[in-house]
Amino acid sequence: MRLALTEAQAAQAADDVPVGAVVLDASGAVVGTGHNTRESHHDPTGHAEVVALRAAAAARGEWRLSGCTLVVTLEPCTMCAGAVVLARVDRLVFGAYDDKLGAVGSLWDVVRDRRLNHRPEVVAGVLADESTALLDGFFARHRSAGLR
């Protein structure tokens, strides 16, 4: 999670919402990293999870990320939760809950939906205070500056 927080800080430095993600293989080696790139790439799918999953799939040479763990600083949205399921990630670890867009228990629970063909293990709340502090600081600065 510390590496995911470092990725989140990179997003913040680029004036994007500070969310970071890391994909680990079964041995614990990092096979993909990412942070939000929506602003810098003008890409609505530039969420940290999607960026990290793409990097991991490219590094492994396959889209199935069986045996992998995705670590992300914020509870995934519906798009990202769907990507976790479709990529066959075995474990999802996240920091802060997202009461507005969360799809891993807050508003929806996409990854545990029994109708889907894959359900990863979920570990929630890891370093949640640090993740929340980054997000709260970012949005407080933007509100005070009249942005977003």
pLDDT digits (tens, 9 = 90+) for 4-46: 999 999 999 999 999 999 999 999 999 999 999 999 999 999 9
Q: So what's the pLDDT on residue 144?
A: 84
97-142 tens-digit pLDDT: 999 999 999 999 999 999 999 999 999 999 999 999 999 999 998 8
* pLDDT (average), residues 137-148: 81
Q: So what's the pLDDT on residue 147?
A: 61
44-103 tens-digit pLDDT: 999 999 999 999 999 999 999 999 999 999 999 999 999 999 999 999 999 999 999 999
Is there a binding annotation on residue 47? yes
Is there a binding annotation on residue 77? yes
Residue with tokens 């990725």: 7
* CA 115 to chain CA centroid, nearest Å: 23
Gap between the Cα atoms of 8 and 113, Å rounded? 28
* Amino acid at site 111: V
Does 146 score more than 80 pLDDT? no
Q: What secondary structure does DSSP assign to 26-69, as a single string?
A: TTS-EEEEEE--HHHHT-TT--HHHHHHHHHHHHHTSS--TT-E
Gap between the Cα atoms of 122 and 70, Å rounded? 10
Beta-carbon contacts of 75 under 8 Å, excluding residues fewer than 6 positions away, are 94, 96, 97, 98, 102, 103, 104, 105, 106, 124
Does 148 score more than 70 pLDDT? no
Helix ranges (H only) for the chain are 2-13, 38-41, 48-60, 78-86, 128-144
Residues designated as active site: 49
Is there a binding annotation on residue 142? no
Instruction: Identify the band that residue 3 occupies on the pLDDT scale cut at 50, 70 and 90.
Output: very high
